[in-house]
Amino acid sequence: MKFGILVNEGPFQHQASDSAYLFTKAALEKGHEIYRVFFYYDGVNNANKLSEPQADDRDLVKLWSALAEEHKVDLVVCVAAALRRGIKDDILAPGFRISGLGQLIESGIVADRQITFGD
C-alpha cells in the first residue's frame, strides 16, 4: 500500500509527531511505500535543524532525517507555515525540502491512503 502522511504538530508539544514517525517507520519495515510526508502548521518545526532537545530526550528532527536518507522518503515542509514560524531553507535539517500545498494535494491523489497526525 502507498501512504501519504500529513503531520500537523511539532516535535515537542504533542504526541502526533512521534506517532507519525513511528507509523511511517513501521509501514516501511512492513514493505509499504511512503509517497510523501507533508509537514503543515506547527508540524514544520520537525524540520528545524536548530532545535536541541535534552540529551535524554528523543530527537525527532534527526530521526526524520535519518529515515529520509535510509528509505528515500520525500519530506516536504509547507512554505507558508514555515515562513510564519521563521523556518527557511538555511535552517532545514537534511532530507527536508520546502514546497507548497500542491505537494499535499498530489500526495492525497497519488497515495492509496492519506493519514493525518495532529489536529
The pLDDT tens digits of the residues spanning 57-102 come to 788 999 999 999 999 999 999 999 999 999 999 999 999 999 999 9
Grid look-up 536548530 returns 50
Q: Whole domain around residue 97: which residue ranges? A: 2-117
Average pLDDT score over the chain = 95
For residue 119, pLDDT beyond 90 = no
Q: Which of 78, 79, 92, 111 is catalytic?
A: 78
pTM of the model: 0.94
CATH assignment of the domain containing 22: 3.40.1260.10
Tens-place pLDDT, residues 10-20 = 998 889 999 99
E strand or H helix at 65: helix 60-71
Active site residue 35: no
- Structural domain tally of the chain? 1
The tens digit of pLDDT for each residue in 21-31 reads 999 999 999 99
